[in-house]
Structure 1
Amino acid sequence: MINKKIEEFVKLIEQNRFYDAHEALEEVWFPRRFEKCSEIELLKGFINAAVSFELIKRGRIPQSKRVWANYLKYRQNLYRINSEYKNSYHKLARYLENKQKTLLGHNIVI
């Protein structure tokens, strides 16, 4: 299920549907949100990235940067997890970081 949600998350990010991307990944994270697990925290970080993008979309750059800092905090879990999805998570992190630079670099308000 996680892999399908990651694929859905990426497609929605590509379409600049950041709120919907957040919702898609939250379906996996929310039921397990109280677990002390690096993988679940990493998913929370990816959700924070989507929220950050939505804030950029709404022109709320300072708030976006604060939420992005949360993503970066959880991103460290990439190096702690032992998951069959580890490669997918690394690719997703690179993609999100490039997307963030593009959105902020061009001051895109979608």
Structure 2
Amino acid sequence: MSRHEKQLELFVQNLQKQNFYDAHEDLEVLWYERRFEESDEVKLLKGFINASVCFELHKKGKTEASQKVWNNYLKYRDLIHSTDSIHKEKYLLIIDEIERIKKSFIK
């Protein structure tokens, strides 16, 4: 398993455990080193980070801020369609998991 795959797996595990801050950190290490690239994949990672931040803010009762960050996630989510990555299948599963958490966690 590559480092990238490991971080994606940790991200999903932490989302499922509602460890949203840790999930954010799991992807931050991947995004940070590539943050200056003009790549849809990098922007998609940023979107996933936004989703975990949204959930953490909601957990802390900051619903307005949570919604703003969720809107940022939505802006990046659709980049999955233009992302050319060997990790695309995993990214699609992550999107499904994020949507599942959103429905169950934020009413």
Aligned position for 2:52: 50
SS in 1 for 2:18: coil
Q: Which runs of 5+ in 2 are unaligned?
A: none
Q: State percent identity of aligned pairs.
A: 44
TM-score by length of 1: 0.93
- Between the aligned partners of 2:49 and 2:97, the Cα distance in structure 1 is 14
**Does residue 4 of the first structure (1) align with residue 9 of the second (2)?**
no
- Give the structure-2-normalised TM-score: 0.95
Runs of 5+ consecutive residues of structure 1 not aligned to the other structure: 106-110
Q: Residues 75-94 of structure 1: matches in 2 within 5 Å?
A: 75-94=77-96
Q: Aligned-pair distance for 1:29?
A: 0.3
Q: Which runs of 4+ in 1 moved over 3 A?
A: none
Deviation at 1:51, TM superposition (A): 0.1
Match of 1:62 among 61, 64, 69: 64
Equivalent in 16, 28, 31 of residue 33 of structure 2:
31
Q: CA RMSD in A?
A: 0.7
Equivalent residues, number: 105
Secondary structure of the corresponding residue to residue 32 of structure 1: coil
1:18-55 Cα offsets, whole Å, 9 max, x none, are 00110110000001101000000000000000000000
